[in-house]
């Protein structure tokens, strides 16, 4: 009888544990996706660029839709909904501006960055509430680190005054770069069966690594494309591992 009751408890708790793991992964992706969204917005809504790449606009829209889906699946907590709705309103305002009013871009983009930081903090707070572990998994840490470095790269080249609060100091940027490089080696050792995905993500990072560390120069879509792809691949792998059903 005791064995039967124990089996039933385990059966009932397993779906709950799986749901929690999925929620934790979604919260991590809210962090990385929101940074990718901001990076793409910086690339597209640049007042100095008269012919912005429409793919950056498509990326912003895609990331916003993904964030909306995840927050919906998480139960739409007000902590997450408020900054996400503000980001959506700001995006719509930016997208609706005629190009002859592009001098307003920096002010609106700055507000977008503030709301994005609020969303990140809300995701971190929500993670702390539901997670039984004190820190993220290595794949999530790497994904967020790459997204952060891409956002920092776009910010340093964006014509916005008083952006020191958003930008990484050079020493921290170099520290983050070194940590990313080492973590790729660690991930390849830990997840050897997924070496193809991880090697591709590492190659994408290394391809734009020098540009990411440069203080000056024009921003371009190359870094955006390669790093975004690496972030999304790592998030997809992390979610796949969460949803993977263990063999009996």
Of 119, 108, 127, 104, the C-alpha closest to 66 is 119
Q: What is the pTM of this model?
A: 0.88
> Which phi-psi region, left, alpha or beta, contains residue 98 (left: φ > 0; alpha: ψ -120 to 50)?
beta
* pLDDT tens digits along 37-81: 999 999 999 999 888 899 999 999 999 999 999 999 999 999 999
Over 70: is that where the pLDDT of 241 sits?
yes
Over 90: is that where the pLDDT of 18 sits?
no
Compute the distance between CA of residue 157 and CA of residue 246 in angstroms, rounded to an integer: 46
Structure tokens given for 203: 């190659």
**CB 234 within 8 Å of CB 33:** no
Compute the distance between CA of residue 146 and CA of residue 177 in angstroms, rounded to an integer: 9
* pLDDT tens digits along 119-159: 999 999 998 888 766 556 899 999 999 999 999 999 999 99
* pLDDT tens digits along 75-127: 999 999 999 999 999 999 999 999 889 999 999 999 999 999 999 999 999 98
- Domains of the chain, residue spans: 19-243
Of 13, 25, 7, the C-alpha closest to 243 is 25
SS3 159: coil
């Amino acid at each position: 009888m005791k064995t039967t009751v124990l089996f039933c408890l385990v059966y009932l708790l397993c779906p709950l544990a799986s749901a929690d793991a999925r929620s934790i992964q979604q919260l991590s992706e809210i962090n990385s996706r929101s940074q990718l969204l901001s990076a793409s917005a910086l690339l597209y809504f640049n007042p100095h660029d008269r012919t912005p790449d429409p793919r950056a606009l498509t990326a912003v829209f895609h990331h916003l839709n993904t964030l909306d889906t995840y927050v919906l699946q998480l139960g739409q907590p007000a902590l997450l909904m408020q900054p996400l709705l503000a980001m959506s309103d700001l995006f719509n305002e930016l997208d609706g501006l005629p190009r002859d009013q592009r001098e307003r871009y920096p002010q609106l983009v700055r507000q977008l960055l503030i709301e994005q930081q609020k969303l990140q903090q809300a995701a971190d707070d929500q993670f702390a509430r539901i997670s039984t572990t004190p820190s993220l998994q290595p794949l999530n840490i790497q994904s967020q680190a790459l997204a952060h470095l891409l956002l920092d790269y776009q910010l340093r080249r964006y014509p916005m005054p008083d952006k020191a609060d958003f930008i990484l100091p050079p020493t921290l940027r170099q520290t983050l770069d070194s940590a990313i490089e080492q973590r790729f080696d660690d991930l390849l050792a830990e997840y050897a069966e997924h070496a193809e995905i991880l090697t591709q993500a590492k190659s994408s990072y290394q391809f734009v690594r020098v540009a990411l560390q440069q203080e000056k120069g024009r921003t371009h879509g190359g870094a955006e494309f390669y790093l975004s792809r690496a972030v999304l691949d790592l998030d997809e792998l992390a979610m796949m591992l969460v949803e993977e059903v263990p063999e009996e």
